[in-house]
Structure 1
Amino acid sequence: MLHKIPTETLGPLGATMTHAVETCVHCGFCLAACPTYRELGQEMDTPRGRIVLMKEVLEGTLPLAAAQPHVDRCLGCLACEPACPSGVPYRDLISPFRALMKPHMPRSPGEKLRRWIAAQTIPFPTRFRLAALLGRFGKMLRPLVPSSLRPMLDLVPDQIPPAQHWPVVTPAHGERRARVALLAGCAQRVLDPDINTATIEVLTRNGVEVVMPAGQGCCGGLAWHTGDLEAAQAFARRNLDAFPSDVDAILTNAAGCGSAMHEYHLVLCGTPDEARAEAFRQRVLDVSVFLQRLGLRERPAAGARPLKIAYHDACHLANAQGVRREPRELLRSIPHVELCELADAQICCGSAGTYNLDQPEIAGSLGEKKARAVIATGAEVVASGNIGCLTQLRVHLAKLGSPIRVRHTMQVLRDAYEEEGC
């Protein structure tokens, strides 16, 4: 027998979800923006459809098992938010729903194992590095690996770059114009640690002192977006304690991390830390936004060779944080750069945290389409602001035999400085 779930038993997150549900007028403007609707063509795999499903589960008119496959297939890309004329805060619904329903979600043993491995490795750089190295050997034994774990092996890169380490404080070059704290990240520190190195070099070159708090940890985004509320809260509290208050901003160079930190008020909703989380998130900025507002003190001089760059909007930068203009303007500040836009730029590349692991077919299809859109520009380099997107692009460009280089916006800017010999 189905029973209505009283909203009051869901706590403050339940009230947040109810508001999001009530805001939707079911107009359907979100359908064209939704990647899973484009892939699957089903009403229930749209934001509008999922809102109906989640509402019915909460009201007790639909079993959770009927809604779960469609909720699981949501990328959380938030492309529906800018497309929505009613301003439905979809982010206030999808992650809270997953968190509150997690204890009731039926999972196969293989799914549980894969999710547990991801949760115990990706947010912890030392463990993740070891897991990635072991995964390279696992590829040789792929036929013997359970099918539920094979998507993890498929994403293991052929080479793991050496670990890099950064001082707690890196002083500004010349006169100090600002002081910031930088999130080091977790997966990024293993898959492409040079992104942090490039970020620090660009910031300090432009008069910014960079603090890398020793006590920081994972942003909690992977846990939050998969419904692991307890882990997400623990990560959030750790960062609330670790980051200093005597800085001009808290910077991120990974869109997913920045988006997660902007949702700390939801992660800690109804707890004694909610007000602290609200104040914290107001100080979080993507590095491109901070640099564009501050203004580049040192611009790459004319003489850098002409370069054609395609720019890919990371969903959690463009949709979740509304950051589109700033990284483009930074790239255009490099002399002789031609910036190319992608066809269907608003459509997710399919990375979306652990989505590649949980929905490999949809993720693979989206990744190939995005790679083909990049190739169609004729660019030499594709730039983006999120490690998940960069990894996805590398995998699918390589599968298509493309030589296009995949770089973070900060790496492109750092490379331009180095080319001119500044």
Structure 2
Amino acid sequence: MSDQDDLPKLLGDCVHCGFCLPTCPTYVLWGEEMDSPRGRIHLMQQHADGTSLSGPMVEHFDRCLGCMACVTSCPSGVQYDRLIEMTRAEVEREHPRSMKERAIRGLVFQLFPYRRRLRALRGPLRAYQKSGLDKLIRRSGVLERVSPSIAAMERLAPPLGKAPRLPERVAARGERRATVGMLTGCVQAEFFPGVNAATARVLAMEGCDVVIPPDQGCCGALSLHSGREDEARAFARRTVETFECVDVIVVNSAGCGSAMKEYRALLADDPAWSGRADALSAKTRDLAEFLVELGPRAERRPVPVTVAYHDACHLAHAQGVRTQPRTLLAGIPELTVREIAEPDVCCGSAGTYNLFQPEAAAELGDRKALNVAATEAELLVAANPGCSMQIATALRHHGAAIAVAHTAQVLDASLRGLGRDTLIPHTPRATT
């Protein structure tokens, strides 16, 4: 049965109770009914009843982050995640976007899912950052005048250093407990290579042989969550082929892990691929999820630091992985975890959202940064590259001296006995 056959039931599941409203980021920001999940479901029903996709209707759909906080909070089990993905696919098929929108979307989807293109961008971008020209350009506001989306891309880019290349296999330390495949990702691999290196080391120190296929490509997360279904399916098929040889796939990016666990639905109507996709979804694990299932073996050494842990939406809401990262952090001696207020309100990254809706994303980023700063933590820990870029940018904007790291990097520092200096280099310990 196709998604369109399921649509009447999916829409009918919503009883318009309003439990979703306090968790919806755009409703929290603006208080507009049509920018809430139940409001958007009302618009979806109108479209299903024959109303064409008008510009204002599409704008309300575009403003949705797809964070799925509403799915977690809904007492009726409404599958809003399926509804918004189906709707976005309809928008891409039926709605003629402006030339400017097409240009920006074309740029994003011709760049970010392709590692070689991102890699080619690294050198010029690194030189641009080291020259100090980035600060001058931002002060001038010239990119904002050209395109707020282009300005957001430039502003969100993390400071780039050298990018170490991982081998195809990293051997387990001591007796081997498991053999795992590792997804390196696109943005993660090129903008946060240290996260991947730390992930491979942690897995190896916990007794895993780590297989890192060199020809792996994009998992299709950005395309899937933006309604580009055919593109997402092509990426998914390639990923299935790449990782069929391993029993477990470990993913350190929340958005990627969520997408790969959705392959069973994405390719359900393809007889040649549905079974293979289902098998891959079943063996995909987030890094924290896998490590807790495996159980600790390597010695944890002290890391005397206070951290604020951020729940990435596609980890907490889409995958239901909440306790596992906290369990891993709690197992590190002398590390203190502080919770962030409004944990279920998205930071504004949401895949490509901070590029296509930069003003709303900036509002949410500022809100998240203030909540992080209120914890008085020295380090923010997040498990998604988009969240790391979004919140780090907002923290800099507010002058908050809080470093950002991935859960894998904190574990790596503990297992290797490196303390806090690799996580918060050259800074004195906070006294407030």
TM-score, L = length of structure 1: 0.92
Structure 1 position 178, deviation (Å): 0.7
Q: Contact (CA 8 Å) 2:240, 2:277: kept in 1 or not?
A: yes
Counterpart for residue 25 of structure 1 = 15
Within the candidate set 20, 23, 47, 2:37 is matched to 47
Q: Contact (CA 8 Å) 1:214, 1:242: kept in 2 or not?
A: no
Asked whether 1:342 is paired with 2:340, we answer yes
Q: Separation in 1 of the partners of 2:262 and 2:158?
A: 34
Counterpart for residue 423 of structure 2 = none
Tell me the SS of whatever aligns to 1:322: coil
Moved more, 147-156 or 229-238: 147-156
Structure 1 position 158, deviation (Å): 6.2
Q: Separation in 2 of the partners of 1:311 and 1:158?
A: 19
Q: CA RMSD in A?
A: 1.9
Q: Contact (CA 8 Å) 2:53, 2:94: kept in 1 or not?
A: no
1:2-35 per-position Cα deviation (integer Å, ceiling 9, x unaligned): xxxxxxxxx8121243332121111111111100
Q: Separation in 1 of the partners of 2:415 and 2:401?
A: 23
Give the AA of the match of 2:102: K
Q: Separation in 2 of the partners of 1:160 and 1:394?
A: 14
Counterpart for residue 182 of structure 1 = 182
Distance 1:411 1:362, change over 3 A: same
Distance 1:130 1:19, change over 3 A: farther
Structure 1 position 133, deviation (Å): 5.2
Counterpart for residue 422 of structure 2 = none
Within the candidate set 66, 86, 100, 1:76 is matched to 66
Asked whether 1:328 is paired with 2:326, we answer yes
Structure 2: 5+ residue runs without aligned partners? 420-432
Counterpart for residue 4 of structure 1 = none
Q: Separation in 1 of the partners of 2:114 and 2:364?
A: 27
Q: Separation in 1 of the partners of 2:36 and 2:83?
A: 14
Q: Contact (CA 8 Å) 1:57, 1:64: kept in 2 or not?
A: no
Q: Separation in 2 of the partners of 1:84 and 1:299?
A: 41
Asked whether 1:223 is paired with 2:223, we answer yes
Q: Contact (CA 8 Å) 2:260, 2:284: kept in 1 or not?
A: yes
Q: Separation in 2 of the partners of 1:47 and 1:133?
A: 42
Q: Contact (CA 8 Å) 1:17, 1:97: kept in 2 or not?
A: no
Give the AA of the match of 1:86: S
Give the AA of the match of 1:102: E
Asked whether 1:173 is paired with 2:194, we answer no
Moved more, 207-216 or 79-88: 207-216
Matches within 5 A, 1:13-412: 13-131=3-121, 134=124, 136=128, 140=137, 143=142, 146-147=146-147, 149-157=149-157, 159-247=159-247, 249-272=248-271, 273-301=273-301, 304-412=302-410
State percent identity of aligned pairs: 43
1:255-282 per-position Cα deviation (integer Å, ceiling 9, x unaligned): 0000111111232231222232122111
Counterpart for residue 424 of structure 2 = none
Give the AA of the match of 2:265: L
Give the AA of the match of 1:402: A
Give the AA of the match of 1:261: M
Tell me the SS of whatever aligns to 1:182: strand
Q: Contact (CA 8 Å) 1:142, 1:150: kept in 2 or not?
A: no
Give the AA of the match of 1:32: P
Distance 1:279 1:391, change over 3 A: same
Q: Separation in 1 of the partners of 2:161 and 2:190?
A: 7
Tell me the SS of whatever aligns to 2:82: helix
Structure 1 position 399, deviation (Å): 1.1
1:59-88 per-position Cα deviation (integer Å, ceiling 9, x unaligned): 203544342001000000000011000111
Tell me the SS of whatever aligns to 2:318: coil
Q: Separation in 2 of the partners of 1:169 and 1:142?
A: 45
Structure 1 position 298, deviation (Å): 1.0
Q: Contact (CA 8 Å) 1:299, 1:333: kept in 2 or not?
A: no
Q: Separation in 2 of the partners of 1:22 and 1:264?
A: 25
Q: Contact (CA 8 Å) 2:114, 2:218: kept in 1 or not?
A: yes
Tell me the SS of whatever aligns to 1:419: coil
Q: Separation in 2 of the partners of 1:166 and 1:399?
A: 33
Structure 1 position 236, deviation (Å): 0.2
Give the AA of the match of 1:376: A
Q: Contact (CA 8 Å) 1:80, 1:90: kept in 2 or not?
A: yes
Give the AA of the match of 1:277: A
Structure 1 position 126, deviation (Å): 2.2
State the aligned residue count: 408
Structure 1 position 159, deviation (Å): 3.0
Moved more, 406-415 or 97-106: 97-106
TM-score, L = length of structure 2: 0.90
Tell me the SS of whatever aligns to 1:155: helix
Q: Separation in 2 of the partners of 1:63 and 1:392?
A: 31
Counterpart for residue 430 of structure 2 = none
Structure 1: 5+ residue runs without aligned partners? 1-10
